[in-house]
Amino acid sequence: MCLSSSEPASLPAEDISTNSNGPKQDLLFDEDPEDLFAEATEEVSLDSPERDLLLSDGPSPAITPITPPTSVITPCIGHSLLRIKFEQFQTCFLQIEEEEGGDLFDMNISVSDPEKVGDGMNAYMAYKVTTKTSMSVFKRTEFSVKRRFSDFLGLHSKLASKYLHVGYIVPPAPEKSIVGMTKVKVGKEDQSSNEFVEKRRSALERYLMRTVKHPVLLKDPDVLQFLESSDLPRAVSTQALSSAGLLRMVNKAADAVNKMTIKMNESDAWFEEKQQHFENLDVQLRKLHASVESLVCHRKELSVNTAQFAKSAAMLGNSEDHTALSRALSQLAEVEEKIDQLHQDQANADFYLFSELLGDYVRLITAVKGVFDHRMKTWQKWQDSQMLLQKKREAEAKLQFTNKPDKLQQAKDEIKELEGKVQQGERDFEQISKTIRKEVSRFEKDRVKDFKTIIIKYLESLVQTQQQLIKYWEAFLPEAKAIS
Amino acid sequence: MRSVSVDLNNDASLLIDIPDALCERDKVKFTVHTKTTLSTFQKPEFSVPRQHEDFIWLHDTLVETEDYAGLIIPPAPPKPDFESPREKMHKLGEGEATMTKEEYAKMKQELEAEYLAVFKKTVQVHEIFLQRLSSHPMLSKDRNFQIFLEYDQDLSVRRKNAKEMFGGFFKNMVKSADEVLISGIKEVDDFFEQEKTFLLDYYSKIKDSTAKAEKMTRSHKSTTWNFFYLFIFLTLKLGKLSDLFEKLRKVEGRVASDQELKLTELLRYYMRDIQAAKDLLYRRARALADYENSNKALDKARLKSKDIPQAEEHQQQCLHKFDKLSESGKRELTGFKGRRVVAFRKNLIEMAELEIKHAKVSNIMTGSHAERVLLDSCVASDLSNSTWDPY
């Protein structure tokens, strides 16, 4: 590769943003005098044909100044401005939900106060589940119960067995973690086990909220009992290493094999399209999830290195014999330390939230795909009954020519039964198809909202971080200038 | 990076710069351009091509020159290091099959930018070396320096000869005896006592800071890369938002580069410069040791009444050399301190200003984008249309 450093001090102004609705309110750099590349060649003005080749896509684009949107007058976007807009946004969503009629969804569940109960390998974490609601289906407006992780799994298991096969997307429960739980049981009171408990608490909360947001699941007696009753029969078949667990695994494998052998004649293009859509979404979300997790990891590394540098800079400052420079170096160390803390508190937290949401959706999509699979199974069942009916009819026709009145009657009875089954099969298939359509539409709406909420939260905190950064460096600047 | 060493290249009698450089595979060819009013040169303006090894040759001959023992010889520029971007280029080549055309093009662009950044860094550090020489009253008159600037033929022959002559002898000596000798010497001069204590301590601290800063900068850059992968994927789902993140990532990348240039490079440069100052202290310490030895030899000669005049002359020479080094050394070290403080000041100010600017720009971008996202959603009337992608 052949590179040349010859270039003029100013680069062509080209904004490379690909799309924008409405007025161009994009990048607001003005021609950058501190440009990394301009610095090197300040006193030179050479024109090189290679320049355009190398730099037309602008590794450091200089953008023609554009007036910012009128609502953004100050060069520093205040947190409060954004908050107002966010609240307007939330109202929008709420209005639309109201229009859908019925009892306005007004419910808030919080999972809190994780408490270790018992000792050793039999110990478990108990969480307090508090419900605040004004909805009529509940007897009280505020109530709380104590639940452990296996209770949540038990709830999900019951809901799944009741609703998945008729096409309802039952939100999956948070994942088990033998390693994580063992640390807690053994009594390791360190940061990683605290993080684990917090992650789980948050996941359980999200799980419950998602479950009750589903209009059908909300009214399920198991859900109501879970939230309201102080005593709950222990769910035993949820243990990972139990016989029930093994049975589940075997069934899953069997299902997978069956899926491969079902060849459905899809008459409805919508389903085919949606299935493909969810396949793609699955792949993308997994990639994204892995990417965000890796980012969180790198951020942690950066944090460690920044903290180390800050300490070293402080020592350098102590060693420096020029007083003003010594003070400036110490101040630099402090700034770097504060910035590190800033990144840890804000940026990390939000990526973490994003990462958790992605994990939730990866699991949710598995549930969605499961529901599509159930539809296929329902269709298969219907087809099977139809084929069996056909066979029986043929057999009956044959029997008509023989003199076996008992067998004939039996055949006629069987046929009547099967006709009923076929009709039921068809109804089931139509019902599940209808349900899935509704469910998918609801799911997509929620997905859009969830992601948007998270992203706006992230943007908000990003704005805050940026403001803090500006404050720190502006405080440092006079110290640097004071060096004489 | 020019700001690493200020007050250079403003003496019109000898102006040097590197306006151009070419990178071919592993070798970088610098174009050294000189503008001068001095009669010692044949022409008032001329350019020559030079390789990194030529700079090292020049540096080494200066170090070996006895007359310059009392000077701080500007540190030699480090070898151009394209390891990091080259490695990434390799990975890019390997991963080409799994990426879309768009992704590949974007990554390639990023890599080219990184290559360019390394490239510019190395040009600047070579340029500074020459400018330090040209702005020094004694070194600028060095004959080899003049040859370096002017000689329009290949210097490789001279380089080979020099290697044979000196064989790196002096450099090896410096490395092994350095600290021990300097710290062991009985210092009579307060100034040098203080300088010695300060420089030894400062060197170890700045070495540590440089290493930690390098680690931090590397981390910062790799985080930016991560951002990059993340946002490639976001493009798939979140159209406009990925625009914002792409821009934020670019700013983040520049923050990392600026930090590297203003902070890490500054520390790196002065670490090497302090090493050069320590070398000066070493040479003076050696001269002092020689002087003390010559005193002992004189006493011996006087006792034996043998070869007294030679011993006396030798002692006088040693003393004279030592005094010369002390005088010159004091001047150099004082100038060095001033230079260092000014350079740190300039870079710290520039870094702070850049950080503020980047944060402000990011802030505006984020704020206006977030607004737009919120605005879009309130305007939309049909939220149930799942094909509408508000991002």
Cβ neighbours for A363, distance < 8 A, ≥ 6 positions apart: A172, A175
What is the rounded CA–CA span in Å between residue B1 and residue B9? 14
For residue B218, the model assigns a pLDDT of 86
For residue A265, the model assigns a pLDDT of 72
For residue A85, the model assigns a pLDDT of 57
Tokens of B282: 């070493």
User: What is the ipTM metric for this complex?
Assistant: 0.83
For residue A164, the model assigns a pLDDT of 87
Give the SS3 label for residue A28. Answer: coil
Q: How big is chain B, counted in residues?
A: 391
- Mind listing the pLDDT tens digit for each residue in B32-89? 999 999 888 999 999 999 999 999 999 999 998 988 989 999 999 999 888 878 887 8
Report how many Cβ contacts below 8 Å link chain A to chain B: 274
Nearest to B390 among A29, A291, A448 (CB): A448
If you write DSSP's letter for every residue of B342-381 in order, what string do you get?
HHHHHHHHHHHHHHHHHHHHHHHHHHHHHHHHHHHHHH-S
For residue A294, give the nearest of B247, B230, B105, B288 by alpha carbon: B230
Question: C-alpha angle B318/B324/B329, rounded to 5°?
Answer: 125
Gyration radius from chain A CA atoms = 31
Chain A CB contacts of B109 below 8 Å: 57, 59
Indicate if the pLDDT at residue A336 is higher than 70: yes
Query: What's the average model confidence in pLDDT over A337-346?
Result: 85
Cβ neighbours for A165, distance < 8 A, ≥ 6 positions apart: A374, A377, A378, A432
Distance spanning both ends of chain A, measured CA to CA: 45
Highest mean pLDDT among A52-66, A188-202, A440-454, B3-17: A440-454
Chain A CB contacts of B374 below 8 Å: 85-86, 88-89, 456
* Surface of B (326-365) touching A: CB under 8 A: 337, 341, 344-345, 348-350, 352-357, 359-365
Verify whether the Cβ–Cβ distance B112 to A54 is below 8 Å: yes
What is the rounded CA–CA span in Å between residue B318 and residue B292? 9
What is the rounded CA–CA span in Å between residue A121 and residue B317? 84
Place B97 in a pLDDT band, splitting at 50, 70 and 90.
confident
Gyration radius from chain B CA atoms = 28
Min Cα separation A156/chain B (Å): 27
- Looking at the complex, does the CB of residue B47 fall below 8 Å from at least one CB of chain A? no
Tokens of B375: 């605005």
What is the rounded CA–CA span in Å between residue A196 and residue A74? 42
Poorest-pLDDT segment among A331-340, A413-422, B221-230, B382-391:
B382-391
Q: Contact at 8 Å (CB) between B364 and A30? A: no
Verify whether the Cβ–Cβ distance A19 to B243 is below 8 Å: yes
For residue A12, the model assigns a pLDDT of 33
A68, A93, A170, B390 from A445: Cα distances, Å: 32, 10, 16, 11
Verify whether the Cβ–Cβ distance A77 to B363 is below 8 Å: yes
Q: Contact at 8 Å (CB) between B355 and B262? A: no
Q: Average model confidence (pLDDT) for chain A? A: 75
> Which is more confidently placed, B312 or B156?
B312
**CB burial of residue B153 (10 Å; 0-12, 13-18, 19+):** exposed
Mutate to test the interface with B, among A318, A459, A481 (most CBs of B within 10 A): A459
- Mind listing the pLDDT tens digit for each residue in B121-169? 888 899 999 999 998 989 999 999 999 999 988 887 777 766 665 555 5
- Mind listing the pLDDT tens digit for each residue in B352-379? 999 999 999 988 888 887 777 666 654 4
Cβ neighbours for A228, distance < 8 A, ≥ 6 positions apart: A131, A138, A139, A140, A143, A145
For residue A356, give the nearest of A201, A124, A217, A185 by alpha carbon: A201
Residue of A nearest to B225 (CA): A295
Largest CA distance in chain A: 120
Domains and CATH numbers, chain B: 10-83+120-153 (3.30.1520.10), 190-370 (1.20.1270.60)
- Mind listing the pLDDT tens digit for each residue in A149-185? 999 999 999 999 999 888 899 999 998 887 777 777 7
Tokens of A349: 């937290």
Query: What's the average model confidence in pLDDT over B261-279?
Result: 91
Give the position of tokens 């803390």: A341
Phi and psi torsions of A124, nearest 5°: -150, 165
Domains and CATH numbers, chain A: 105-239 (3.30.1520.10)
For residue B210, the model assigns a pLDDT of 94
What is the rounded CA–CA span in Å between residue A194 and residue A202? 12
Verify whether the Cβ–Cβ distance B234 to A299 is below 8 Å: no
- Looking at the complex, does the CB of residue B202 fall below 8 Å from at least one CB of chain A? yes
Give the position of tokens 């390639």: B108
